[in-house]
Amino acid sequence: MRLGEKLRIARKQRGFTQAKLGERVGMSEQTIRRWEARDTIPDDVRDTLSEILGVRLSEVDSGDSVAEQSIIYPTGAQLQPLDVYNVGHVAGATDADGEPVDTILVAANDRAAVDRGLRIQGRSMVPLFMPGDIVGIKDQQDAQVGQVVLARADGELTFKTYREDATGRAILWPENEAEGYRPIIPKRIEIIGVYRWMKRVREDGRI
C-alpha cells in the first residue's frame, strides 16, 4: 500500500477531513490532498502528523499496516470504562433497548469524546475498519460530507461515510467497493452519531 494511501486511512480512522487535518498541522486542504495522492510527506511534519493521528507515521513507509498500529496510552494514564454495542443493538438507536456486548477501558479523553462504543461486524468499510474493530460514536443528528456516521437508512442501521450528490441528497458510502458493496441512497435517513476514534483488538486480546 502506498504511503499516501496509508496516510488517508490513518486520517479517516481518527475522524479528520482533509481540511480539518490541514488546520491542525497548519497546512491547506490541498496540501493534505497532495500528500495522500503521492508517496512523499515532508520529514519536518511527520512527527506532528504522527502525534495527531496516533500512529508512528515515520514507520508507515516500512510496509507496516496502519491497521496493525495501536494507540499507546502513556504510563499512568487514567482509564475509564466504555460500554460497547453491536450494530442493531445500540442503546437508543433501535426499537428495543439494547444491551452492551462488552465493556472496554479507554483513556479519559477518549471516553469524554464519545457516548458509546460500537463493534464493527461487517466488511463494508474495509480497509478503514475491520470486523471486530471498536469505534467511538458521538451522538448527534447531523453530519458533514466526508464524516463516517452511524445512521438509520430506511429503518436499517448502518455505519458508512456520509456523502451528498449534486442535489444535496444523502448517500451512505462504503469504502469496500472491491468486494461488491454499493452506496446506499436512502429515501429516509436519520443520523444517530458520528465516528470519533477506533480501537483494534489484537490477537492477544489487548486493544
pLDDT reported for residue 202: 62
pLDDT reported for residue 117: 92
Cell of 135: 469505534
pLDDT reported for residue 101: 77
Helix pair 43-53, 3-13: axis angle to 10 deg: 30
pLDDT beneath 70: ranges in the chain: 1-2, 39, 56-77, 88-98, 201-207
Model confidence pTM above 0.75: no
pLDDT reported for residue 103: 80
Q: Which domains does the chain have, with CATH numbers?
A: 3-68 (1.10.260.40), 79-199 (2.10.109.10)
pLDDT reported for residue 156: 87
**Whole-angstrom Cα distance, residue 183 to residue 192?**
18
pLDDT reported for residue 58: 55
